[in-house]
């Protein structure tokens, strides 16, 4: 059991095995490191691992259970964190070799919460420099290899390493961040479940910032239930991130399994269904039948606010402007040492005027209210996460112009939710004839993660797409 079966077990399954005495936390963590050592030389999901401290924590977790101290289901479960999260004593490199020696003085709030719940951090995953890309390419630390293809195809970004680590069964969960799609795009391309939370739900304190307006913390997991368990742990007020204050936590577990009979779901037409890969559209449209069989009311609506969200933030102006200010030192003093694609994109934020920035932020706030009114009779939207499956890295990374075009294409659907501050869940809903995952995105209104997770859970109980795993024998034999 402590080999093949463990690779893709869910958090509740692992927790049950630990409490039955069939498995120890030490054995589980050792298994994760063994798998990382076997696979990651090729997959490049991890930037660093922390074996000694993780094993020490695992031994302590086992002893705690023996002593009758059980903090809950997450206790003794290993995980990874995108290399934007501060971990005391470890560098937070944010995808840059320049920051490989930037040692964090304290844990990020998310790391603190997971540690308190008894989870064990095994390492930090690779990301795009400054987390500023939807395709997942990093010309400095290297681009993680999507495990669904022998050919090096896009892992999605910027939580690229997190997506690959979970998809390859190296960890049951990995933290990510989402500013324009950075949890949902890798979830879609790597075939995992990925939750983008509403800004304000989870503290960003101790997370390397890209945009104080749009940054959110999320997670990539094997199942929606796993994501709900992690979300339940991470949400809550934090004085070090004032946007979380004054918002009561929600219990997303209490109704997670109650079904979706009577829910009003709609395919959001127009921009979400333009220029799609035909297999992506077919798979996503088929999801409507699944939800109808589950008792939901499924319709199609026009949602022009989606196109307006793309227009209100041209060239992702908000992210570029804020990202430039946050990383001004590196862009001005070390431009030639940065990933040329990321640097050339982010430096454009220098040209954004105060008037343009303020007007964009103001217009976005107005648009959020408009979108809320448009969706007053709809509970959830159904759209493709990414318009196309994962393409070969070599085909995307040819010229700056092609990179920018494809990057915008992969982020087209996800960035809309960031501008409108919606929550969103990407889950597997099919595969192409070439065996590449296709993601369905379930969009919810701001702060309605409970509704999004409930619908995603119901879908996964009725389908088996999330249970399919990549054949990695070609890697293990190398």
Question: Is 146 within 8 Å of 393 (Cβ atoms)?
Answer: no
**pLDDT tens per residue across span 255-274:** 999 999 999 999 999 899 99
Binned at pLDDT 50, 70 and 90, residue 478 comes out as: very low
The tally of CA atoms less than 13 A away on the side-chain side of residue 277 is: 23
Across the beta sheet with 216-221, the strand order is 46-49, 120-125, 78-82, 173-178, 216-221, 193-196, 423-431, 437-444, 380-384, 264-268, 297-301
Q: Given 17, 24, 158, 162, which residue is catalytic?
A: 158
Does residue 384 sit in helix, strand or coil? strand
How many other β-carbons are positioned within 10 Å of the β-carbon of residue 273? 18
Map 205-222 to HEC letters: CCECCCCCCCCEEEEEEC
Q: Given 182, 187, 193, 211, which residue is catalytic?
A: 182
**pLDDT tens per residue across span 433-474:** 999 999 999 999 999 999 999 999 999 999 999 999 999 988
* Mean pLDDT estimate for the chain: 96
Q: Given 17, 25, 82, 196, which residue is catalytic?
A: 82
Question: Is 77 within 8 Å of 71 (Cβ atoms)?
Answer: no
Residue 25 falls in the annotated catalytic set = no
Structure confidence at residue 316 (pLDDT): 77
Q: Is the pLDDT of residue 185 over 80?
A: yes
Residue 182 falls in the annotated catalytic set = yes
**pLDDT tens per residue across span 55-75:** 999 999 999 999 999 999 999
Alpha helices in 174-277 (DSSP H): 184-190, 224-234
Residue 158 falls in the annotated catalytic set = yes
CA trace torsion 364, 368, 374, 375 (10° rounding): 140
The counts of H helices and E strands in the chain are 18, 11
Q: What are the structural domains of the chain?
A: 4-303+374-476 (3.90.1300.10)
Binned at pLDDT 50, 70 and 90, residue 6 comes out as: confident
How many other β-carbons are positioned within 10 Å of the β-carbon of residue 251? 10
Cis peptide before 158 (omega within 30 of 0): yes
Structure confidence at residue 477 (pLDDT): 56
């Amino acid at each position: 059991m402590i080999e093949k079966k463990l690779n893709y077990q869910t958090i509740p399954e692992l927790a049950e095995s630990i409490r039955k005495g069939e498995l120890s936390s030490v054995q589980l963590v050792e298994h994760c490191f063994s798998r990382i050592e076997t696979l990651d030389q090729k997959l490049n999901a991890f930037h660093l691992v922390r074996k000694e401290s993780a094993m020490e924590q695992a031994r302590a977790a086992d002893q705690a259970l023996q002593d009758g101290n059980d903090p809950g289901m997450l206790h003794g479960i290993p995980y990874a964190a995108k290399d934007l999260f501060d971990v005391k004593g470890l560098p937070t490199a944010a995808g840059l070799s320049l920051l490989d020696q930037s040692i964090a003085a304290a844990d990020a709030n998310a790391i603190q919460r997971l540690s308190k719940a008894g989870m064990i951090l095994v390492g930090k995953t690779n990301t795009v420099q400054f987390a500023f890309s939807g395709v997942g390419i990093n010309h400095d630390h290297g681009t993680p290899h999507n495990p669904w293809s022998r050919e090096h195809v896009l892992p999605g970004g910027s939580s690229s390493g997190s997506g690959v680590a979970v998809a390859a069964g190296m960890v049951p969960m990995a933290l990510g961040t989402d500013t324009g799609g950075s949890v949902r795009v890798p979830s879609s391309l790597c075939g995992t479940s990925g939750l983008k939370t509403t800004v304000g739900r989870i503290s960003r304190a101790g997370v390397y910032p890209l945009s104080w307006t749009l940054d959110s913390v999320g997670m990539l997991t094997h199942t929606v239930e796993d994501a709900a368990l992690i979300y339940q742990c991470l949400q809550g007020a934090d004085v070090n991130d004032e946007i979380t204050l004054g918002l009561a936590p929600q219990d997303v577990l209490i109704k997670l399994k109650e079904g979706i009979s009577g829910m009003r779901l709609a395919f959001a037409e127009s921009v979400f269904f333009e220029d799609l890969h035909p297999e992506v559209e077919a798979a996503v449209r088929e999801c409507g039948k699944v939800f109808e069989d589950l008792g939901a009311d499924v319709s199609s609506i026009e949602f022009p606010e989606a196109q307006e969200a793309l227009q209100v933030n041209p060239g992702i102006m908000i992210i570029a402007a804020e990202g430039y200010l946050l990383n001004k030192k590196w862009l001005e003093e070390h431009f030639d040492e940065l990933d040329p694609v990321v640097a050339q994109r982010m430096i454009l934020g220098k040209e954004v005027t105060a008037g343009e920035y303020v007007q964009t932020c103001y217009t976005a706030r107005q648009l959020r209210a408009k979108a809320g009114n448009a969706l007053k009779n709809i509970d959830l939207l159904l759209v493709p996460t990414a318009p196309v499956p994962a393409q070969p890295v070599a085909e995307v990374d040819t010229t700056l112009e092609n990179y920018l075009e494809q990057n915008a294409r992969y982020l087209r659907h996800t960035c809309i939710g960031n501008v409108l501050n919606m929550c969103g869940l990407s889950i597997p809903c099919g595969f192409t004839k070439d065996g590449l995952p296709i993601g369905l995105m379930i969009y919810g209104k701001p702060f309605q993660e409970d509704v999004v997770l409930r619908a995603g859970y119901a879908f996964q109980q009725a389908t088996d797409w999330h249970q399919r795993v990549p054949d990695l024998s070609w890697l293990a034999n190398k």
